[in-house]
C-alpha cells in the first residue's frame, strides 16, 4: 500500500508511483471528511494547480470527489500561484483550498497542499485530522464521487478567476508610486511555473520596463529545478547583464518563494532579502511589534530588532508556524531561510510575488544599488555570513548519528563557549560571539543539514567542519 504522508508543506510524491488518481481521490475524500467534521462544507472550496504534468486532470478528479460530498468547488481554469489561492480563500471566506503543487521539487513530483479557512498553511493538528481520515480510508475506501459534467450542471463546480483580485490587493501592500517612478528595468523569471503573467503584469501596468524569460508552460521546467536558488538562475543573470537591467526577479514553481539578482548578476539569499526587508520596513513604515522567523533563519533579524525595540520569535522550520504567529500574535513580518516571506495585511502564507515587489520598493525608495543597501546594514549591525551544508549518508549511518545526537551537548565549539542550546527543531547551539549552528535530520531522506552563521566564510566553514567531525559524518 502506498504511503501517504503530509510533510512540512503538504503531501508530495512521484507521479504514477504514489501520486496517482486513486491516491489523489483518497486524499481529497479525507480532506472532505475533515471539512464536514468541522461543519465547513457550506462554505465551499477552491481548487487550483501549478504547471506540472496532469495538473488539470488531477484538479478535475479532486473536484469530482468534492462534488460527490456536496461541497461546492471554485476551480481555477488555469494555473495560479499558491499565495493567490490563499488570498482567494480569505476574500471568499471559503472552507479552504486544495493547491496541486510540488513547489520547487523536480518535475517528476506532484503534490497536494491543503490551505485551511484562515488562508495559511495547515497546522499539524489539521493535517493530523486529515491523516486519520487517510488511514481509515486506506482500510475501508469509501470515496464519494460525482461525474465532472454532471457536477458542473448541478452547480457544484464553477470556474473562478483569482488573478485580478489578488493583484489589486498587492497594490495596498507596496508603495506603487515609488515603484512607478523608479525608472527601474527588470527581468522577470517565473521559471515556467504558476507565476507566469503575475509579477510582469503587475509591473507593466505601472509602466515598468519588463523583460520576461521562461514564461511559457513547461512541465519539465526547462530542464532545471523550479527553485530560485543561485544554481538555477544562470539564464536570469545572463539576461540581466545582456539587457543592462537593474534587477532580476525569480519565482519558484508555485510562486510562493523568490530569488533576486542585481545589475551585476549578484545573487541575494533569502536571509539577505529578509534582513533588507526588515530594515526597510522599520525605516519607511516605522512598524513595531513582532517578527517571526524559523530556527534556521539569520539572527541578523534579531540584531536589527533589538536596536528598535522589536521582538523576534523563533519557530520550527515550516512557514505554517510563522503563519500561525501572524494570525495569533499579529507578527508584521514572517520569513524563513528557504525563501518564504509575508507581511501584515496579507495572508499568513509565503508569497514570492509580494517579496519581489517589496524588494523593488526598497531599491526605489533608497535610490541605491542593493549591494550598497546591504553594505550599509552590515556597517551598522556587523557582518554576517549564513550557510547550509547538506550531508547525504546511508540510512544506517543516519540512525547512528541520531543516536550520537541524543547525547550531543558540546560546551565549546571552535574554541567558543556555547551559551544556549535548544531543541525547537533539531539541535541548535548559540555561541558567545553571536555565531550559531544548527543540525537537522531530514524527515524523508538519509541526510543531515548543518546550518551555521558567523562573521566570516572561514568561521562558518570551521563551525560546520567541527560539528561534522563530532558527529562522524
Identify the CATH number of the domain defined by range 180-267: 3.40.120.10
Q: Are 98 and 75 in contact (CB under 8 A)?
A: no
Q: Determine the pLDDT at residue 206.
A: 97
Report pLDDT for 21: 97
| pLDDT attached to residue 443 | 76
The two counts, helices (H) then strands (E), for the chain are 16, 21
Q: What's the confidence (pLDDT) of residue 401? A: 94
Residues 388 and 450: beta-carbon distance below 8 Å: yes
What pLDDT sits at residue 386? 97
Contacts of 247 (CB under 8 A, 6+ apart): 184, 185, 186, 187, 240, 260, 261, 262, 263, 359, 360, 363, 370
pLDDT in tens for each of the 473 residues of the chain?
578 988 767 899 999 999 999 999 999 999 999 999 999 999 999 999 999 999 999 999 999 999 999 999 999 999 999 999 999 999 999 999 999 999 999 999 999 999 999 999 999 999 999 999 999 999 999 999 999 999 999 999 999 999 999 999 999 999 999 999 999 999 999 999 999 999 999 999 999 999 999 999 999 999 999 999 999 999 999 999 999 999 999 999 999 999 999 999 999 999 999 999 999 999 999 999 999 999 999 999 999 999 999 999 999 999 999 999 999 999 999 999 999 999 999 999 999 999 999 999 999 999 999 999 999 999 999 999 999 999 999 999 999 999 999 999 999 999 999 999 999 999 999 999 999 999 999 877 889 999 999 999 999 999 999 999 999 88
CB atoms within 10 A of CB 155: 9
Residues in the chain: 473
Beta strands in 274-335 (DSSP E): 290-294, 311-315, 333-335
What's residue 272's pLDDT?
98
Given CATH 3.90.79.10, say whether it is the number of domain 385-470: no
Question: Who contacts 249 (Cβ-Cβ below 8 Å, separation ≥6)?
Answer: 186, 187, 188, 189, 199, 258, 259, 260, 356, 359, 360
Q: Which CATH architecture has domain 270-350?
A: 3-Layer(aba) Sandwich (3.40)
pTM of the full predicted structure? Answer: 0.96
For the chain, the domains span 11-162, 180-267, 270-350, 385-470
**d(C-alpha 31, C-alpha 16), whole Å:** 21
Which grid cell is 408?
550531543
Q: What pLDDT is recorded for position 49?
A: 98
* CA proximity to 420, closest of 412, 410, 430: 430
Does domain 11-162 fall into CATH 3.40.120.10? Answer: yes
| Residue 1: per-residue pLDDT | 54
Please check whether the two domains, 11-162 and 385-470, share a CATH topology.
no
Amino acid at each position: 500500500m502506498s504511503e501517504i504522508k503530509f510533510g512540512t508543506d503538504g503531501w508530495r510524491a512521484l507521479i504514477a508511483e504514489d501520486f496517482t488518481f486513486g491516491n489523489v481521490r483518497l486524499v481529497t475524500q479525507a480532506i472532505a471528511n475533515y471539512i464536514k467534521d468541522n461543519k465547513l462544507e457550506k462554505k465551499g472550496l477552491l481548487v487550483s494547480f501549478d504547471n506540472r504534468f496532469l495538473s488539470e486532470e488531477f484538479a478535475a478528479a479532486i473536484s469530482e470527489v468534492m462534488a460527490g460530498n456536496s461541497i461546492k468547488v471554485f476551480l481555477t481554469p488555469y494555473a495560479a500561484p499558491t499565495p493567490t489561492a490563499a488570498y482567494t480563500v480569505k476574500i471568499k471566506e471559503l472552507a479552504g483550498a486544495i493547491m496541486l503543487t510540488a513547489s520547487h521539487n523536480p518535475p517528476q513530483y506532484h503534490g497536494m497542499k491543503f490551505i485551511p479557512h484562515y488562508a495559511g498553511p495547515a497546522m499539524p493538528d489539521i493535517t493530523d485530522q486529515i491523516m486519520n481520515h487517510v488511514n481509515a480510508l486506506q482500510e475501508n475506501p469509501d470515496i464519494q464521487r460525482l461525474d465532472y459534467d454532471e457536477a458542473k450542471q448541478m452547480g457544484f463546480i464553477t470556474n473562478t478567476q483569482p488573478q485580478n483580485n489578488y493583484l489589486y490587493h498587492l497594490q495596498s501592500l507596496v508603495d506603487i508610486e515609488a515603484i512607478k517612478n523608479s525608472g527601474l528595468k527588470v527581468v522577470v523569471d517565473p521559471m515556467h511555473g504558476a507565476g507566469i503573467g503575475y509579477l510582469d503584469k503587475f509591473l507593466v501596468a505601472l509602466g515598468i520596463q519588463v523583460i520576461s524569460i521562461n514564461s511559457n508552460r513547461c512541465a519539465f521546467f526547462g530542464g532545471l529545478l523550479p527553485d530560485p536558488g543561485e544554481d538555477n538562475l544562470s539564464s536570469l543573470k545572463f539576461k540581466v547583464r545582456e539587457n543592462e537591467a537593474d534587477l532580476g526577479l525569480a519565482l519558484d514553481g508555485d510562486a510562493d518563494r523568490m530569488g533576486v539578482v542585481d545589475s551585476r548578476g549578484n545573487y541575494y539569499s533569502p536571509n539577505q532579502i529578509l534582513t533588507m526587508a526588515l530594515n526597510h520596513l522599520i525605516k519607511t513604515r516605522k512598524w513595531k511589534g513582532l517578527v517571526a522567523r524559523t530556527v534556521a533563519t539569520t539572527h541578523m533579524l534579531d540584531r536589527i530588532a533589538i536596536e528598535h525595540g522589536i521582538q523576534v520569535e523563533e519557530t520550527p522550520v515550516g512557514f505554517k508556524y510563522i503563519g500561525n504567529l501572524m494570525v495569533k500574535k499579529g507578527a508584521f513580518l514572517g520569513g524563513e531561510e528557504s525563501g518564504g516571506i509575508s507581511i501584515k495585511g496579507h495572508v499568513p502564507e509565503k508569497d514570492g510575488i509580494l517579496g519581489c515587489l517589496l524588494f523593488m520598493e526598497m531599491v526605489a525608495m533608497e535610490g541605491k544599488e542593493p549591494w550598497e543597501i546591504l553594505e550599509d546594514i552590515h556597517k551598522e549591525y556587523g557582518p554576517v555570513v549564513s550557510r547550509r551544508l547538506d550531508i547525504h549518508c546511508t540510512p544506517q549511518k543516519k540512525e547512528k548519528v541520531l543516536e550520537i545526537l541524543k547525547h550531543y551537548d558540546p560546551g565549546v565549539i571552535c574554541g567558543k563557549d556555547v551559551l544556549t542550546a535548544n531543541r525547537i527543531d533539531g539541535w541548535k547551539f548559540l555561541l558567545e560571539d553571536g555565531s550559531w549552528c544548527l543540525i537537522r535530520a531530514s524527515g524523508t531522506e538519509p541526510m543531515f543539514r548543518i546550518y551555521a552563521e558567523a562573521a566570516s566564510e572561514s568561521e562558518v566553514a570551521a563551525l560546520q567542519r567541527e560539528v561534522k567531525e563530532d558527529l562522524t559524518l
